[in-house]
Chain A
Amino acid sequence: MPLIIPLLLAVALFCIGVYGVLARRNAITMLMSFELMLNAVNLNLIAFDAWHVDGLATGQTLAVFVITIAAAEIGLGLAIVLLLFRGHGHVDADAARDLLEQERGAEQ
């Protein structure tokens, strides 16, 4: 099998994930798209590991580690989303503009 096929699939998944992160409104769907991106990275790692077999099984090990980190991350991410829900009553990422500097007078 040519190496390109897994790699191109990984690129496609990654870019679909990017689109999802930038365009989806619900914060949880943003996180789901982010998982897609991580999976693309894992696919990349496995493909390269299958192509260049070294004694350390680097690609597969790193893929396992990435999965671990993804798990930790989504746990925290969802906790934050729940906090957002608690504070605003919705999880709309587009409407949550608390990072915006308020006009002078509204802040004080």
Chain B
Amino acid sequence: MTTALFSIAGAVALLAAVMVVTSRRIVHAALWLVVALGAVAGCFGALHAEFVALVQILVYVGAIVVLVLFALMLTKAPTNPLPALTTRRSPFAAVVALVLALILGSGVVLAFGNEKLKPVPDGSAEAVGTAVFRTWVLPFEVLSVLLLAALIGAIVLSQRTGKKGD
């Protein structure tokens, strides 16, 4: 059962990812990204990491993609299909990605070819929560500072270079 769920979600994710990188309309690429992220959240769920799946949907789909759409709007992204949406070096990049895939894939297969996942009965929210506030509390706090820094950085970057004094 887990395998079947995971396979469906994985196939959707893969398809959507391909569409993200090859779509000719930018806004369509962003929407396909939503599908891909959602499918990945489904994968998480199939692996019994429900908490992470929910966080994924909340943060990624809910916030990040919205941010991307806002940016597309602010940069006047054209809605018509653009043929020149990939650069001239895309064949070379495809080759590089393929080789990378081969290497990583073979490495993974060599290392973990025979392992199997054991079925996990219960959910994970309680375990994750406990881990975060006990073992991983320091990284948690640092991440807070990181978010603060990102916030301030974004504000600073988006200010106009003092032309009119304000």
Task: Report the interface size class on chain A.
Answer: 35 or more
Task: Report the interface size class on chain B.
Answer: 35 or more
Residues of A within 8 A of B98 (CB): 15
Instruction: Name the one of A12, A57, A74 contacting B67, with C-beta atoms under 8 angstroms.
Output: A74
Residues of B within 8 A of A74 (CB): 64, 67-68
Bound-complex Cα distance A91 to B74 (A): 11
Contact in complex: B26, A35 (CB < 8 Å): no
B80 within 8 Å of A by Cβ? no
Q: List 19 A-B contacts (CB under 8 A).
A: A16-B18, A20-B21, A23-B86, A23-B89, A24-B85, A24-B87, A36-B33, A39-B40, A42-B52, A57-B127, A59-B49, A60-B51, A68-B59, A68-B143, A68-B146, A69-B143, A71-B59, A71-B64, A75-B154
| Interface residues, chain B, with chain A CB atoms under 8 Å away | 2-3, 6-7, 10, 13-14, 17-18, 20-21, 26, 29-30, 33, 36-37, 40, 43-44, 47-49, 51-52, 55-56, 59-60, 63-64, 67-68, 70-72, 74-77, 84-87, 89-90, 93-94, 96-98, 100-101, 104-105, 108-109, 112-113, 115-118, 120, 124, 127-128, 130-132, 135-136, 139-140, 143, 146-147, 149-151, 153-154, 157-158
